[in-house]
Amino acid sequence: MFRTEEKRPVATGTTAHDAVRGHPDAHAAGFGRPRRVTVAVYAADPVLRVGVVQQLRQRPETELVDDADAENAQVSLVVVDALDDDVTALLTRLSYNGATRAGLVIGTLGVGALQRVVECGVSAVLRRAEADQDQLVQLVLAVANGEGVLPGDLLGELLGHVGSLRRAALDPGALPLSTLTSREAEMLRLVSEGLDTAAIARKTSYSERTVKNVLHEITTRLQLRNRAHAVGYALRNGLI
C-alpha cells in the first residue's frame, strides 16, 4: 500500500518525467508533453514557505499556483514544524476538497501524531530534514498520483494503526470501518464498470464535484490508494 522513502528520490528505472506521465492529466492536449503538476504551498512560517517555493519553482515537473487558485491545485503541500490543532484543522479542510490531494512536510512527528495525520487523509509524509529538492518533487509527484509515501521507520507505526482499526471494525460495538452508504456503493459499482467521473455524474444525477468528493471520502476513510484500489477492496469484502 505504501512505499517507503529512500535517501535518493527515484526508484531504479523510474524518472521524475515518468512519474509525471503516470498522472491522469499528464499530457497537454495536442502536444504529448508532460503536464506540470500544480502545487499550492501552505506554511505559517514565511521562511519555510519561501524555501519550499524556491525549490519547487526551479523544477519543470511542478507549477506553483497563487493563493487565489490554491483550492484548485492538484497537490496541497503543507510544511510545518510539528502537528498541532491548527495544522490538523487545515489537513481536515483539505481532505474535503475533492480537487486536491495533500502531502505533509514536517519537522517532527511525535507519538500519536501519525494516527492524526492518517485520519486527516494524508498518506504522503516527508521529514523536513530530508526534504531536499529531489525529495520534495518526488513527494509532489507521488501525491498527485495518489501514492503513499512514508519514512521507513514510520511504516511500522502505520501498520499497527491499520491493525487496530481492523480490530475495532470486528468489534460489534464499534463503528464498522468497512461499511459503505448506498450512494458510495453505487458509485464504486459504476467505477468498477469502467465509468469515469462525468459518466457517473450523469448516471446518478449528482454533480461531478459531488462524485469526486464521495470517491475521495471512500479512499480516505478506508486508507486506499486510488479508485481501482477502492473497487478491489469493496469486491473482496462483499460491499458491492
Give residue-wise pLDDT tens across range 127-165. 888 889 999 999 999 999 988 887 766 666 555 555 555
61 and 138 both lie in a single domain: yes
The amino acid occupying position 15 is T
Q: Single out the residue of 2, 73, 84, 88 nearest to residue 41, CA to CA.
A: 73
Q: What is the pLDDT of residues 27-71, one digit of tens each?
A: 444 445 558 999 999 998 999 999 999 999 999 999 999 888 999
51 and 140 both lie in a single domain: yes
Does some domain include residue 100? yes
Task: Please state the domain count of the chain.
Answer: 2
Q: Single out the residue of 140, 120, 135 nearest to residue 73, CA to CA.
A: 140
Q: Which domain CATH number covers 137?
A: 3.40.50.2300
59 and 130 both lie in a single domain: yes
Q: Which domain holds residue 213?
A: 172-237
Does some domain include residue 7? no
Return the SS3 of 120.
coil
Share of the chain above pLDDT 90, in %: 30
Does some domain include residue 13? no
